[in-house]
Amino acid sequence: MKVLSPERMAQYDEYAITTWGIPSSVLMENAGRNTYRLMKERYLTSWGRIAVFCGRGNNGGDGFVIARYALRDGFQVKVFLLCSAADLKNDAALNMGLYAGLGGMTVEVSDDDGLPWAEEGIMEADLVVDALFGTGLSKAVEGKEGRIIELINQSGRPVIAVDIPSGIDGRTGEIMGTAVKATHTFTYGYPKIGQVFYPGAYHTGTLTIIDISLPPGAEEVLGIDGHIIDGEMIRGFLKERMPWSHKGTFGHSAVIAGSPGKTGAAYMTSMAALKIGAGLVTLVIPQALNTIMGAKLTEVMTYPVEDRGTGVFTLSAYNEILEFLEDKDVVIIGPGLSRNPETMEVVRKLYCEVDKPFVIDADGINAFIGYLDLIKEKGRNAVFTPHPGEFGRLMGLTAQEINSDRLGAGWRFLEETGANLVLKGARTVIFGADGEVFINPTGNQGLAKGGSGDILTGYIGGALSQGYSMVEASILGVYIHGYGADSFVESATDMDLLAGDLLAGTGKAIREIRDGTDRIYIEKSL
């Protein structure tokens, strides 16, 4: 499924109007009529009271269309207009007039004196429609609008958001002052970025895409901003494992990980690579840690290297590691390595000198702080998998700055390095070296626990060893990772999920995806 920014969606609307000659009033009519139709089917009985809150823009115009159809069908409708009627222009003014022509009641809330009327209308309503602000909101919501949003959220009434919950930044998903918490959002043409990223996704509730008769071919002319991963996408590239396959068919992953106190990261990464289907996995480990890892790992092989008794990777082992990697298919490096200066140098040297696909995570990413220019050495043949804290340190930003514009931060990395990126977090985003963006809808807060990222790193590396492309391996890894977490909480909770539970659920997730099960939370409607 494709996703657009508000700016690009505006281009689609303009393309429909100027190139295909579809009047803007028709687009508004299609949006409002179909929103009302679905709203009626799902949330209204044969009788009910509806409070519609309209702003001065096109979003308010959509609200008037909804109000008109509801009034026509005999529902008790009251529109609260947060400006003067004279402030409405063009299609919004047209639809206010059509609503009024049917005898519709509009209450102007042009100042704080109208707030008691609005509060009374909310409490009397069986359903509230939010048509205050659209996807183009550019400043924080405050004043009477902010107070009305608070009243809506406190009411306990089901809330239908028109296009996007008011107060959500359509580009980033950030809350702009305050925002409506919708029960159901009906958006037009395509899902918007701000409805996919948190906290916007939380405020969006159920999301339904409504067709408003945008012309075919617009995607080829105007482009898109990204894809939302789903099972259908994965089934499109998932490889069949032939009956005559052998372990060499599925590749040999080398995992370089671990240091004193962090052997668990090495274990989980190695096991995840094996569980996702790699034929062979060898953990390269400092000599001092080999006894414990040899006892813990059965299916994964270990390759201990000289560490001068330190338990960390040192330059004395560099040539030994280099020789070992010669016949391996992929290098997975970083989990639990430590930030020992020699270890960091080993990471950089291997990255620059080993001609293999690389998956770089955790301390492997930390090795490139201040060395961003080195990442270009491999570029398209590497994928970095940071969480926002690691990515912020790499890019000289805070984690908050990363999360406030996840797409912008990822694009900057791609432009500066040319490398693939998996930016982890609530809605993990994949940036392919070719410029394509993929947003993962699976996963939940149960993944906010140590070890989760190590599993994902192993998944991606193990998929790479089987011949998947960088982007395919990343898509497969992040979707299964989140899918497993979602499956787990259905029979347990989001508190007790452990990284090991993801390993145990890998096979179930793969089988269900193969069989056509999906977990995408967005629906399309005519």
Helix, strand, or coil (residue 505): coil
Radius of gyration of the chain (CA): 27
Number of other CB atoms surrounding residue 221 within 10 Å = 11
- Dig out the tokens for 129 from the structure: 């429609």
Q: How many whole angstroms separate alpha carbon 523 and alpha carbon 505? A: 26
Backbone angles phi, psi at 360, to 5 degrees: -115, 125
Q: In what order do the strands lie in the sheet with 49-54?
A: 105-108, 76-81, 49-54, 127-131, 159-162, 184-188, 206-210, 522-525
Name the pTM for this structure. 0.94
Contact 462, 273 (CB under 8 A): yes
- Going residue by residue through the chain, which has 526 residues, state the pLDDT in tens, using 9 for 90 and above: 999 999 999 999 999 999 999 999 999 999 999 999 999 999 998 788 999 999 999 999 999 999 999 999 999 999 999 999 999 999 999 999 999 999 999 999 988 788 999 999 999 999 999 999 999 898 999 999 999 999 999 999 999 999 999 999 999 999 999 999 999 999 999 999 999 999 999 999 999 999 998 988 899 999 999 999 999 999 999 999 999 999 999 999 999 999 999 999 999 999 999 999 999 999 999 999 999 999 999 999 999 999 999 999 999 999 999 999 999 999 999 999 999 999 999 999 999 999 999 999 999 999 999 999 999 988 789 999 999 999 999 999 999 999 999 999 999 999 999 999 999 999 999 999 999 999 999 999 999 999 999 999 999 999 999 999 999 999 999 999 999 999 999 999 999 999 999 999 999 999 999 999 887 777 777 5
Number of other CB atoms surrounding residue 244 within 10 Å = 5
Helix, strand, or coil (residue 189): coil
Q: How many whole angstroms separate alpha carbon 474 and alpha carbon 421? A: 9
Q: How many whole angstroms separate alpha carbon 6 and alpha carbon 170? A: 6
Helix-then-strand count for the chain, H and E: 22, 19
Q: Are strands 358-360 and 382-384 parallel, antiparallel or unpaired?
A: parallel
**Structural domains of the chain in order of their starting residue, each with its CATH number:** 2-223 (3.40.50.10260), 231-238+250-525 (3.40.1190.20)
Residue recorded with tokens 């490096």: 333
The whole-angstrom distance between residue 188's C-alpha and the CA centroid of its chain comes to: 19
Q: Is the peptide bond before 335 cis (omega within 30 degrees of 0)?
A: no
Close Cβ partners of 370 (under 8 Å, ≥ 6 residues apart): none
- Dig out the tokens for 426 from the structure: 């609530």
Would the CA dihedral through 415, 366, 322, 477 be positive or negative?
negative
What is the CB-side half-sphere exposure of residue 489 using CA atoms within 13 A?
13
Comparing CA positions, the residue from 304, 373, 364 lying closest to residue 339 is: 364
